[in-house]
Chain A
Amino acid sequence: MLGFRFQPVIKNMSFILEGVGITFSLAVLGFLIGSFIGIFIAFGRRSHTPLLRYSSSAFIEAVRNTPFLVHVYFFYFALGEIGINIPSYFALLIALIIMNAGYMSEIIRGGIEVIKTEQVKSAEALGLSPSQIKRYIIIPPVLRVVLPPSLNQFAISFLSSSLGVVIGVKELTWRANFLQARNFLSLESYLVAAAFYIIIVKITLSTSRFIDKKVFKYKITDI
């Protein structure tokens, strides 16, 4: 049978777990800051000022139509040439923030488009206070549209942070690569790293599915 030897990899578990922590910090920070910027870009795209509108859609198109790997190389290697030296961790983080901002802004834009002025007006006519309108009329349908793809994007953020291996960020994939270079157990190291990614992504995606099924169980039908 195939001679798998997981023992040496398991012995370095604390080394790998540290990598999981760094991957986690990169993915979470990148996603949160990216989403925050994404909100502004989503509103910028609907703005009445042409400059704001065009610059935000140019940003979105530029991010969505170029590979993430090129972003990472650009921030780490290319910017060094004009004197901007960014440590590898922050170069990857900036790339993740920009990637998340680009994709999240489109998701959030989809959420904003769900809000209907007639609904808000009829809620006002029924005598609901502004906070009640937000709580009962605006937030639920927006969350329903935004939450599942956001969690999907969060999972993508995790998977994308694995590109740290190419610029030497000491995250999970880098550590797996380091272990395989040290003890030549290539498949075993990568499989252990893959198992961690599967666990993290599985949790994220099943949360998304759970929210879709349990929290938003009532279907909204368009009139």
Chain B
Amino acid sequence: MELFSGINLKNLVFMLKTGLITTIYLSIIAITIGTLVGFIIGWLRTIANEFFDSIILIFVDIIISTPLIIQLLIAYHLPGFLGINITTILAGSIVIVLYFAANCSQVVKAGIDSVTFNQWRAAKSLGFSYLQQMRYIILPQAWRVMIPSYTGFALGIIKDTSLISIIGVVELVRSGQIIISRTLNPLPIWFIIGLIYFIVCWPLSKISRHLEKKVQIGKE
């Protein structure tokens, strides 16, 4: 059938090898570094004074309330404006890491804040050090609040890496566009791209739902 003429082994391999690998690479970078940075920012916000906290909050708010596209376009143009030279994939990675870190910091802050102050005091009166209070009393309770939104954002960031195609990084969506520009057959290619994303994300969403149920055990 003519409709499916664009689908052959060569194109599929190109999509998986060039496209999917880059998408996975970007997602892993965003999730690992983003979680680390987000955790530190979220934790800093719980110990910071009001002034420091509001300064962090301004940055976090700017990142989470602008579209990722605008951030990517700014990151694409900013190096030229400043006169430095970086690759688009680095610019895209930085944006997506910051985006995930900002969202993650909100989750961490909300999670730690959800543990009542009495728990801190009780832990302190038992002679726990700060690290021990965090490790044994606060974080186990904070996980329950954090895990559902955290997994939601982590899954979201895999889908959001598709936007990096706009600044020209060859990831899954861009690899599809390249094939379409050659075969002029958009329908099957977009369908397959969607399917690949689904195959990647669906098991992860199942796992995350399982995890959400697991952390709810013991909650009154």
Contact = CB atoms under 8 A, between A and B. Distances in A.
- Bound together: yes
A202 to B, nearest CB: 6
Contacts, number: 117
Given A67-B197, A73-B190, A74-B191, A186 B81 contact: yes
A65 B162 contact: no
The bracket for how many chain A residues form the interface is 35 or more
Given A81-B185, A198-B66, A69 B77 contact: no
A108 B68 CA distance: 26
Most buried by A among B61, B81, B194, B202: B194
Given A62-B198, A162-B69, A187-B78, A69 B186 contact: no
B73 A177 contact: yes
A121 interface: no
Given A66-B159, A162-B67, A187 B62 contact: no
B65 A65 contact: no
A176 interface: yes
A64 to B, nearest CB: 7
B160 A67 contact: yes
A190 interface: yes
Contacts of B81: 2, 186-187
Nearest to A164: B69
Contacts of A74: 190-191, 194
B48 interface: no
Contact of A70 (B155, B180, B187, B190): B190
A2 B189 CA distance: 44
B220 interface: yes
A61 B69 contact: no
A144 B187 CA distance: 42
B163 A187 contact: no
Contacts of B65: 155, 159, 197-198, 201-202, 205
Interface string B181-217: 0000111011101100110011001000000000000
A68 B159 contact: yes
Interface in B126-141: none
B89 to A, nearest CB: 17
B70 A67 contact: no
B103 to A, nearest CB: 12
Contact of B69 (A2, A165, A191, A205): A165
A201 B60 CA distance: 13
Contacts of B220: 222
Interface string B156-178: 00011011011000000100000
Given A176-B70, A186-B77, A198 B190 contact: no
Interface in A49-75: 61-62, 64-71, 73-74
Nearest to B68: A159
Interface string B60-86: 011011111111011001100110000
A193 B69 CA distance: 11
B3 interface: yes
Contacts of B163: 67, 69, 163
Contact of A162 (B70, B74, B173, B191): B70
Given A187-B74, A187-B81, A202-B61, A70 B69 contact: no
A166 B165 CA distance: 10
A48 to B, nearest CB: 23
12 contacts: A61-B205, A64-B205, A65-B205, A66-B159, A69-B173, A81-B186, A159-B65, A173-B70, A190-B77, A194-B71, A201-B65, A202-B65
